[in-house]
Structure 1
């Protein structure tokens, strides 16, 4: 599969977006009182930490694909 330069840049933008948004969400979860209550604290906190970790992993993978696509498009243009 060959990615165009535009699609590659979009993938990089999605990765940057993920890395800007999800750590801030983690801080919001950390500051949320529901993360530390006995009734639902453990499940609430760890489920959200898992979601954040998976989202950052996907964001990283998408970003790597975008970077590889941009690099490949530079070589094709030469």
Structure 2
């Protein structure tokens, strides 16, 4: 899988996770107002699932950015055999 495909996939999953978290919170609030307890628990579950998805993809992005930073620092210090394309 190419790097751009991975970046696009992670960005879209993070955006979906955000919307899922918001949807879960909205569902919880609506069920609280309506007095439906089981719907509130489903909303809380959806919100937690969205939070976990966001946390996972943020962790993946952080790992990728650290690796890029390490490589870039080596390149600036001339410690690797990568040449810039001009």
TM-score (norm 1): 0.64
1:15-64 deviation per Cα after TM superposition (whole angstroms, max 9, x unaligned): 210222222222322333xx3xxxxxxxxx12111111111111111101
- Alignment RMSD, CA only? 2.1
Q: Corresponding residue for 1:40? A: none
Higher relative contact order (CA 8 A, sep 6+): 1
Q: Choose 1 or 2 for highest CA Rg.
A: 2
Q: Corresponding residue for 2:75? A: none
The question of whether the paired residues in 1 share the 8 Å contact of 2:28 and 2:40 is answered with: yes
CA 1:5–1:73 in structure 2 vs 1: closer, same or farther (change >3 Å)? farther
In 1, the alpha carbon distance for the partners of 2:32 and 2:44 equals 14
| Consecutive aligned runs of 4 or more in structure 1 exceeding 3 Å deviation | none
Q: Corresponding residue for 1:9? A: 11
Equivalent pairs counted in the alignment come to 65
Structure 1: state its 5+ residue gaps.
36-44
